[in-house]
Amino acid sequence: MIAMRLTFPYQLEIIQQKILQQEETLRAVAGLYADAIQHGGLVHVYANGHSRVAVEELCIRMGALTGFRAILTTGLTSFTDVIGFNGLRLNQFFEKVEKSGAELLDEIDFGPHDTMLVVTATGTTAAAVDIALEFSRRYPSLPLVAISCAEQSKNAPVKHSCGMNLWHIIEKAQHGFFIDNGMPVGDLSIDVNDATHHYRVCPLSSIGALTVVQSLNELTLKTLVERGVEHFVLQNMHLNNTETNYESWLRDQRKRYARATYNEAAVPPEVHLPVYDAQ
């Protein structure tokens, strides 16, 4: 009998290599994040499905910077009941619904230095494509960033009626930036076989997205430090006395989040009509 050999940890080297190859893009995006934070604005972070973990890592985590605001809606991100009213079946249904992007964006006032980030494993989910498309139409002057699988988003069959996947929307955007999450097409990275079955396991999309998120966290803070911008970073609340840091971090978040709900200097959307085409 051949002894089992653990191989999944070696897949992490693939993630490492692919992300390091994108350092120029990561630095450019970190500069945009720093612009938003420096001017009292926000990076608005959308995800659906499992990609919500990347949003949580960015917005509310030890080591998190202020200035990141989650766009997470229950129907698109809650499926841990597996079955029932908050189960997988309903989540998969809502991911296919178009025009949700317009409804979500109607709830946000975007400042002149804000950035939009869309996180999705495949770059093909209709809901993720929908919000990126609507944002690019309403706010063409603002940066639009995507973290997703470049190969799958470029080449997989389109699910949205606009005729595009996320890659194509970023490519057409005036200020679009696409960061590859490093996952293989289909996400699963390990093959396990026996005489009659073939299994694929060990997805990489979450690990890749989290690595991108923390790489940008590092570069953004270093950019702010280079610019001499004082900033709030959430410290480890389980070590020493961090109560003062905790309160100042939350207070800065309150100020920023308030502008996202009512901002007299908000950038006016250029269009409202839901026109979807493949041109």
Q: What pLDDT score does 272 carry?
A: 60
Q: Which CATH class is domain 11-261?
A: alpha beta
Residues in the chain: 279
All structural domains of the chain with their residue ranges: 11-261
Per-residue pLDDT, averaged over 157-164, amounts to 94
Task: Give tens-digit pLDDT for 210-258.
Answer: 999 999 999 999 999 999 998 999 988 777 777 788 899 999 999 999 9
Show Cβ contacts of residue 213 under 8 Å, excluding neighbours closer than 6 positions. 54, 57, 58, 147
Q: Enumerate helices (H) and strands (E) in the chain, giving the number of each.
A: 11, 7
pLDDT value of position 87: 78
Are 69 and 63 contacting, i.e. CB atoms less than 8 angstroms apart? no
Q: Given a cut of 70, is residue 279 above it in pLDDT?
A: no
> Which candidate, 111, 121, 120, 138, places its Cα nearest to that of 32?
111
pLDDT for 1 equals 52
Rounded Cα distance, 58 and 69, in Å: 9
Enter the DSSP assignment of 51.
G
pLDDT of residue 105: 96
φ and ψ at 65, to 5 degrees?
Answer: -85, 155
Return the closest-CA partner of residue 36 out of 235, 263, 248.
Answer: 263
Mean pLDDT computed over every residue of the chain: 91
H helix intervals, 40-140: 52-59, 74-77, 88-95, 100-105, 126-138
For tokens 């993720």, what's the residue?
A: 128
